Structure 1
Amino acid sequence: MSDLQLVPGNSLLTATPEEGRQLAVKLARLIIKLTQPDDEKRRQQRAIYADNPMMLISIGQTVAAEFATIAAANNYWRDQPQAH
């Protein structure tokens, strides 16, 4: 197993939804890095998915799933005042 830390700081807790969304993106990127640890192969594959709308949508779905987990861990930021 890689020594890659898949949950930075070993916590899903964030102060705001924005920070939670940023963490979701980071987690999605980390799982790609774990799945394909070769930097050069990942660079080569970017050209494949960059022009494929379905693959880009899939990336968005992965981030959304990560964000849902983070939001639940943060009780949907209920205690935080929401800007309108």
Structure 2
Amino acid sequence: MAETIGEAMDAGWDIRARCAWGRRDGLKSVRQCPWKHTLDIVTLVATRGRDFPLAMLSQRMRCPVCGSRRVAIAYLPKAEPPRVMTMGRN
């Protein structure tokens, strides 16, 4: 089980984010934000560092559509880790 984004990248995980702004704002009904996106894990590692904890990622996100700080993150491990080719071997 990966605990950092570097470990998640090495394991070949996908990271998906969606806006978690609900249908209510206090007592008012509001439209739910439709934003969702698969995050580029290589960019996350480049900007946050390999040792950045997965548990803190949702705290650092903001929805680009509505500006909400409520962003839900889903970590999706791959069934099989990616194959790494080395020189001289196939």
Tell me the TM-score normalized by structure 2: 0.22
Structure number with greater Rg is 2
More strand by share: 2
Larger relative contact order (Cα-Cα within 8 Å, sequence gap ≥ 6): 1
Tell me the TM-score normalized by structure 1: 0.23
More helix by share: 1
